[in-house]
Structure 1
Amino acid sequence: MKGYILNLTIKGQGKVFDGEETLYCNPGDLLLFPPKAAHNYGRSPDSDCWYHRWVYFRPRAYWADWLEWHSKAHQVGRLTLPNNQLLTEFDRLFANIEQTQRSGRRFAEEIGMNLLERLLLRAMEEDPLSPQKIMDPRVIEACQFITGNLAGELRIDEVAATFAFRLRGWHICSVTRSG
């Protein structure tokens, strides 16, 4: 798949992968499957049910940090919501995304993406390992510029000139600060 899948277990138990790689998901477990990750999941044989909500999406460029989850198993991000109040909130966000996408309203896709952004940001807020500051604002602005100009031809030197980046030494990287 070329996009991501975000999956929330509501009830029962799910099983992801097999053998030594097996990962079980219980109510409140939020999983983020990146592109090219194996999608080998289903109801756990030890459970009589597995109710889960999911959304498939292709992210916007400036979401990059929101998709770097700190707790991972075999490339799959994992966040366990610590209480039923949060499970209810996240379940409602998933339901709102689905309802919006099915509404047929004029801006349904845009509103659905906005709700998905909210869901991803709330996951970042609830992740105790998530850094306080996400991404350099200049990089976010450059990503938004690129996203806004996808229809035309865009060269890296044009982006650099627009945002006064020096091309020499300009790399795509993630910088974290410790301490």
Structure 2
Amino acid sequence: MTGTIYDAPLFPGYNFNEFCLSGETPIVKNASYDWWINRPNGMNGWIINLTIDGTGQIWDDENTFLVNKGDLVVFPDSVPHLFGRNEKSSKWTHRWIYFHPLPQWIPMLDFSNSVNGVYIIRIKDNNIFQKINELFGEAIYLSYTHESNSLLTNLFLNIIEEILIRVQLIDTQNHKTLGISITDTDIIKTLQWLSLNYQKELSVTDIADAMDIGSQVLCKKFKEQMQIPLMRWINNHRLNMAAKLLLITKSPIKEIASQVGYTDNLYFSKLFKKKYGLSPKLYRDIH
């Protein structure tokens, strides 16, 4: 985060070379900022975008979708950007945060609903929307401060992390797997807990104790809701996270295996190849 931030980031062609930055873009028809943002190659970092008023539009082809108050859009790095005010709306105001993810955030950047590589999370509860909007406001305030030091940067990062955790909780509650809505509160809580603890050495008993529920009951409920056994889901989730880390980091494979919960690198490589048909090294090289 740097010193004074003027409105340059709101203009096309701005070079986002800060580690993290945030702002608010108030678009009114035929007025300032009423243009489309087109970044065919995406950006070097991630952007989360929260609509607080009016209607915006993402894409202008068969992938088009609209965003209204309470809708949050996540643009991963290198994913193309094309968005602007929807022509049927007189305005579109959105708040945004640009950032480079910390390693521990990677599991929280995997959402269930995406269109053409862009994630969309719809916040239906107004109280939750207000809280997330307040967090965006705090991030914007920090971006405009004249000071720049490690304490403010850490505070900014803490705000981003809280937003990601809250959005993950929303996404888990909205999530549907294989056409079945996850409605059991024990399983929702379990998924939330696993999203933060999957990399630890876990047994069914460990998870059941954390959820304060019997092991057999937990396994039965989990399979009914997710249509997959609990421990198999954890292994799949770990391997999915490993695949992401292989593509977005340059960390050694042994280190990635450890980060997602595997202490035996050979065992990790065997499971990875079974799931993806390639060794971790070949998977990284090909992609």
Q: TM > 0.5 between the two?
A: yes
Contact 1:7 1:52 in 2 (8 A): yes
Question: What residue in structure 1 maps to residue 265 of structure 2?
Answer: 167
SS across alignment from 1:86: helix
Partner of 2:77: 35
Structure 1: gaps (5+ residues): 140-153, 174-179
Instruction: Provide Cα deviations, 1:113-145, integer angstroms capped at 9, x if missing partner.
Output: 011000000101112127331132368xxxxxx
- TM-superposed CA distance for 1:164, in Å, is 8.5
- For the residue of structure 1 that corresponds to 2:265, the secondary structure is coil
In structure 1, the partner of 2:125 is: 83
Secondary structure in structure 2 of the residue aligned to 1:115: helix
Instruction: Give the match for residue 200 of structure 2.
Output: 137
Distance 1:4 1:110, change over 3 A: same
**Greater Cα radius of gyration, structure 1 or 2:** 2
CA distance in 2, matches of 1:75, 1:52: 20
Residues 77-106 of structure 1, C-alpha deviations (whole Å, 9 max, x = no match): 111111322221111110101112333253
Structure 2 counterparts to residues 138-153 of structure 1, below 5 A: none
What secondary structure is seen at the aligned counterpart in 1 of 2:98? strand
The reply on whether 1:99 has 2:141 as its aligned counterpart is yes
Residue matched to 1:150: none
TM-score (norm 1): 0.78
1:125 corresponds to: 169
Identity among equivalent pairs (%): 28
CA distance in 2, matches of 1:23, 1:43: 12
SS in structure 2 of the partner of residue 113 of structure 1: helix
Aligned pair in 2 of structure 1 residues 76, 159: CA closer, same or farther (>3 Å)?
A: closer
Closer/same/farther in 2, CA of residues 70 and 96 from structure 1, 3 Å limit: same
Question: How do 1:41-80 and structure 2 match up within 5 A?
Answer: 41-80=83-122
Contact persistence 2:132–2:163 (CA under 8 A): yes
Aligned-partner SS, 1:66 = helix
Distance 1:159 1:46, change over 3 A: closer
Q: What is the SS of the residue equivalent to 1:56?
A: strand
**What letter matches 1:108 in structure 2?**
L
Partner residue of 2:59?
Answer: 17
Query: How far did residue 35 of structure 1 move?
Result: 1.0
TM-score (norm 2): 0.50
> Measured at CA, do residues 55 and 164 of structure 1 come closer, stay the same or move farther in structure 2, by a change above 3 Å?
closer
Q: Which has the higher helix share?
A: 2
Cα separation, partners in 2 of 1:159 and 1:45, compared to 1, 3 Å: closer
Mind listing any 5+ residue stretches in structure 2 that lack a counterpart? 1-42, 176-187, 202-237, 239-250, 273-287
Distance in 2, matches of 1:159 and 1:13, equals 40
Bigger relative contact order, structure 1 or 2, given CA contacts below 8 A and separation 6+?
A: 1
Are residues 158 and 88 of structure 1, via their aligned partners in 2, closer, same or farther at CA, if it must alter by over 3 Å?
Answer: closer
For 1:157 and 1:83, the matched residues in 2 are separated by 42
